[in-house]
Amino acid sequence: MTYEPPTEYYHHGRFRVVGGVIPDAITAYRTYGNPANPCIVFPTCYGGKLDTSSLLGQAYMVGEDKVLNTEKYYVVTFALFSNGESSSPSNTPSPYNGPYFPAVSYEDNIRAQYAVLQKLGVKKVFAVVGFSMGAQQAYYWPVVYPDYVERYVAICGSARTSMHNKCFLEGPKAALTASKDFENGHYKTPPNHGIRAFGRAYSAWAYGQTWFRQNGFLHDGKYPDLESFLREEWEGGFAGWDANDLLTLLATWQTGDISLVRDGGDLSKCLTHIKAKGLIMPSKTDLYFPARG
């Protein structure tokens, strides 16, 4: 059984982001293992939370018997801004609450995570490992801090969000924002109609994965049909999420592009400047991050 450490919170104070400022920005994180061991950074993906009771808990690769072995590595998991644990539309006081929360970039997240690692005394990062939005952060790390990161592992992610990916994300976004209870982000109670529609639209990504097609309905007999899969796994999976959190996080995803950090949008040139060793693990059945972009 994986050890569940408490979630800790780093207060940055007034923190500038691409869309303005967060007056008291907070980064949520957890640490596993001995800090004397090589450090692995493992940031969340879309729908991911440090809390492992969520749809995509962040400990699935962390443990003594897992690839991020806590006997060999000091693992630090980070919650993205807008995931509901770090600073988000849902937990930030007025006047930056809800739809007034500023846009946040991947670079903003990396700068915030770096500040936490400095507080933890991490002198060098052995590897940054991530899946999906976590993989995009893995690309960002050696660009923002080229001499601090030795390796990065990008699983089903991209250095720049493709037009295909941006287009795909417009589906669940539209399902949420067009719902009758969304009220342009000024809802007083959770817009459950919109969140359910969002979950269904988002599910197409999961069904595109080979293992979901083979096992998604079954899960050892868990889902007897498509409707059960959609309602329980995807409507239910996003039921606890705040709608504005989902949208702000999605905007971070859509605007991902490491070449905006340096090289003025020239992605090929930016990639050649990465010093860290990289392991890129694409999936030909991933509909959000297809291997061919």
- Predicted pLDDT of residue 52: 78
Closest CA to 275 of 73, 120, 125: 125
Whole-number Å distance between alpha carbons of 128 and 151? 6
* Architecture of the CATH domain 8-281: 3-Layer(aba) Sandwich (3.40)
Question: Within 10 Å of residue 149's Cβ, how many Cβ atoms?
Answer: 26
φ, ψ dihedrals at 168, nearest 5°: -60, -40
Whole-number Å distance between alpha carbons of 6 and 152? 26
Q: What is the pLDDT of residues 113-131, one digit of tens each?
A: 999 999 999 999 999 999 9
Q: What is the pLDDT of residues 81-117, one digit of tens each?
A: 999 999 999 999 999 999 999 999 999 999 999 999 9
Q: What is the pLDDT of residues 167-179, one digit of tens each?
A: 999 999 999 999 9
**Burial (CB count <10 Å: 0-12, 13-18, 19+), residue 22:** buried
Handedness of CA 186, 187, 191, 193 (dihedral sign): negative
Q: Tell me the pLDDT of the chain (293 aa) as tens digits.
A: 556 899 999 999 999 999 999 999 999 999 999 999 999 999 999 999 998 766 778 888 999 999 999 999 999 999 999 999 999 999 999 999 999 999 999 999 999 999 999 999 999 999 999 999 999 999 999 999 999 999 999 999 999 999 999 999 999 999 999 999 999 999 999 999 999 999 999 987 766 554 455 554 555 567 788 888 889 888 998 999 999 999 999 999 999 999 999 989 999 999 999 999 999 998 877 778 877 76
Whole-number Å distance between alpha carbons of 114 and 9? 14
Closest CA to 258 of 250, 267, 249: 267
- Please name every residue paired with 10 in a beta bridge, in sequence order, or none if there are none: 27
Helix axes of 163-177 and 243-254: crossing angle, nearest 10 degrees: 160
